Structure 1
């Protein structure tokens, strides 16, 4: 049995991992970390480490992946295994940062609910009209709120380039991505998996950016194989 810490993405609550908590529970106590503390990725990572078990397996989705890579830099000796879902090791480009700040400005001055529903979700094309998925994303976003969105966005914009530190990761690592992820496309995960020694890459078919919600069975299968596999 090993403790497992799950780190949500931008505008995500614990609900983003609802299916994974149930699937991973037999392998050890599961905690969904809070991303509601800290103004930078580094501060978020430090806050999560302060509340986490002494040693644990670590899973990060999207922004949570950025945080997990920072946790690996701050306390590599505490991490038993690492899983990075729908994420990237690259920093923002100037264009991406500009787009993010424009979305924050729109959230503060306009209809946040409409913005989330129409702009801030990235499902597979076959799920763009999925009312249940849209409702989950909206519910999570409202739980984080506009100011939480602004704080998380600025943390994402100011994150460092994680690519130089990937080769130092020595724990069993799963890298997973949806085959049609438009936000962190498969080549970003391929880049991470190629740089981390012995990392395993899983590309989930018929899946956009929200793999844990869109294709929970496939994600759970990959995570169970990862957590049940050998440690260091």
Structure 2
């Protein structure tokens, strides 16, 4: 099977994918892309491409899906398969931009990042999400830090409309979404799957915005299905 490059979402590091990676190991080679060092989605895409294998399968969650589409825009020939999880190809609405700016201001002003992050984590995950998942997300938020979160959020706000990329995708594509995602509701993923020729869509029950850490067993199963389905272009 192709090695899989996995891209984390906003305010995330490799921990968001680790439970899924653990379930795929050792027979699926996984590499987590660096989204913590750049101030634009194209910059993140370029860094990931620099360190990725010559040919790879590509999986992105949330902001990571946006970075994955940037990679498809500039280096589609290197991507064998595409897995888009709880993401959005459209630019922000004015209301979304306003919320992001408010979030950035709060992040830079707080002296208690843990207290500030708790309501956001509660919004991201399903109400039934395990407390260990919530704690892992909190610890991840503290590791990533406010400055990196703000830099990533600015990059997301500045993103181009990625809808035009969708119609150019010619590799096996799976679109996955948590049924109860309140941040990028299933309609966003449905629109992506309809725009990508031959794409399949899978909805994970009782799951919020971050399936790779909320429902790793389901995500690992879907990744195996995705990797084994059809033929990878040569």
Q: TM-score, normalised by structure 1?
A: 0.95
Partner of 1:62: 62
Matched position secondary structure for 1:126: coil
Task: Give distance in 2, aligned partners of 1:206 and 1:196.
Answer: 26
- Which deviations, in whole Å up to 9, do the C-alpha atoms of 1:100-135 show, x marking residues without a partner? 1111111111221111111244111333xx421221
1:65-76 matches, cutoff 5 A: 65-76=65-76
Gaps of 5+ in 1: none
Gaps of 5+ in 2: none
Contact 1:60–1:67 (CA under 8 A) maintained in structure 2 = yes
Contact 1:85–1:177 (CA under 8 A) maintained in structure 2 = yes
Task: Give distance in 2, aligned partners of 1:20 and 1:115.
Answer: 27
Matched position secondary structure for 2:80: strand
Task: Give distance in 2, aligned partners of 1:123 and 1:159.
Answer: 24
Partner of 2:32: 32
Task: Give distance in 1, aligned partners of 2:109 and 2:55.
Answer: 43
1:126 aligns with one of 125, 128, 143? 128
- Which deviations, in whole Å up to 9, do the C-alpha atoms of 1:57-110 show, x marking residues without a partner? 000000000000000001000000000011111111111111111111111112
Partner of 1:184: 184
- Which deviations, in whole Å up to 9, do the C-alpha atoms of 1:16-55 show, x marking residues without a partner? 1112212333444210111112111111101111111111
1:2-17 matches, cutoff 5 A: 2-17=2-17
Tell me how large the CA RMSD over aligned residues is: 1.3
